[in-house]
Structures are given as structure tokens and as C-alpha cells.
Amino acid sequence: SRYYREVLPGEIVKISRYDVQTLDVVPRPEGDPSAFCIFEYVYFARPDSIFEGQMVYSVRRRCGQQLAIEAPVEADLVSTVPESATPAALGYAQKCGLPYVEVLCKNRYVGRTFIQPNMRLRQLGVAKKFGVLSDNFKGKRVVIIDDSIVRGNTISPIIKLLRESGAKEVHIRVASPPIRFPCYMGINIPTKEELIANRPEFHDLANYIGADSVVYLSVEGLVSSVQESIKARQENENSFKSQKSRLGKIGHCTACLTGEYPVELEW
């Protein structure tokens, strides 16, 4: 038989040629809610992945809608740096009633810049990575939706590129909160000193990266975008008591954003 359900946190599953059995679900200590990495939704996961019964693409689109509520701006069009933030950009555009227009096209033969080993390589990467669709935005006020600004190195040359190609204004909206803290749960986030949110430049980030304005999504906005449909589903399943207890309390790890770690750190 086919197995279409997610394996739950702490669940031990036995898969044999005959069937799939749950042997046990190890509970969280003191019945704490689980702590699924919220950054999976923001950046790491494929958009067609399904976590906690919801598609990552839909969560990213909701983040964009929430960002439009929190940080609207007078502009002519909404776009993105292709293509991880596209769902958020579409959500933002839809909520603002602005057209979504492509301003850059991706050269598919170059790797991701987040993992380039040094700054010079990352900045060089941008020039090789994108072509400019200048006819689409010349003389216009552009909102660029990004999924995260980690160091600030990648977005800066992109803004410069758009201005040189005729953009009248460039506003940056980030569909996640600033990353401020290291992750001790296995994600290789740059050191605290490298994170733009901890640097003095962060206090005038727009000026530092060359944008007309920069606004990040709030932590509350991200959490509500992630949890909205999980809560709705739990309420629907409330009549099935066994189902309710299986789902348990909703919890997400926001440690890299808030510094609140889901486990005690022993050092």
C-alpha cells in the first residue's frame, strides 16, 4: 500500500514489504510543542514540499501577502530576484493590487550565491547570474521581494544593476525576519558578525545596500503565515479526539530570528 502521510516528529516507523506500521511516537519532554525549523518554509525547502499538511509554496505566498499588509509602498510594479522568492512576490503583488513583472532573468548555468566561499565570488556571481529585462521597468518604481537578506552582499549589486538599467526607485521587501542568531541545530548559518542584522550598517540598511527603503516581515507575521492553515485544520479535526492528540501543540523553531532555542544549550 502507498504511504502518503508525513512521518511525525519522534515517530518510529517500520516499513516492510507488507505494510507500514507506527511502532512508537516518542513524546517531547514535558509535553513541549515540537519545534519544526521555520526557515525550511522561508528558504531551504522546495516549493512543492509538503510539511505539516501544507505546501511550502502556499506558505511563501501567504508570507508575501502578510508583508503587503505590514509594509506597503507607493510603486508601479512588484518583482523578485529569481526565483526562490517568486511565491512571496506574487502574494505581495496580489495583495497590493500591483502587477507582478519580471525584471531579471536567470542564467541557469551558475550555482547559488549563498554558498559561495567568499565575498568577491558572491558579488561576481551576481553579474553572471542574471540578465536585465530593462524594457519592463525603465522609469518605474520597483518593489523587489527577497526571501531573506543574510549578509547583504547579493542584493546590493542587483539594486545597482536595476538603477543603471533605468529603475526610478527600488524598494526592498523581505519575506522573512532578519537572521540574528546562530543555529545550533545543524543549519550552517554564517557567524554572528557576518549577519547583516548584527552589523552597524543595519541601522541604515537602505542606504548601505542602495535601496530607497527596506522592510522585513515581522516574526509574528511569519509565524501566523506558517501556522494559519495548520490551526484551521486542527479545528476541523477537533471532533476526532485521537487525531487531535496525535497532532499535539503547534510549535516552530525561530531561534535564528529570536534567540529563543527550543532546547537548553549546554555550553
- DSSP E strands in the chain: the ranges are 11-15, 20-25, 36-37, 50-51, 54-55, 77-80, 104-106, 130-132, 141-146, 169-174, 213-216, 252-253
The domains found in the chain, sorted by start residue, are 55-218 (3.40.50.2020)
**Which pTM does this prediction carry?**
0.86
- Which of the residues in the chain have pLDDT under 70? 1-3, 108-127, 239-248, 267
pLDDT tens figures, 135-169 = 999 999 999 999 999 989 889 999 999 999 999 99
Question: What pLDDT shows up at residue 77?
Answer: 98
Q: What is the pLDDT of residue 244?
A: 45
Which pLDDT value is given to residue 8? 86
pLDDT score, position 177: 98
Edge-first strand order for the sheet with 141-146 is 77-80, 141-146, 169-174, 213-216
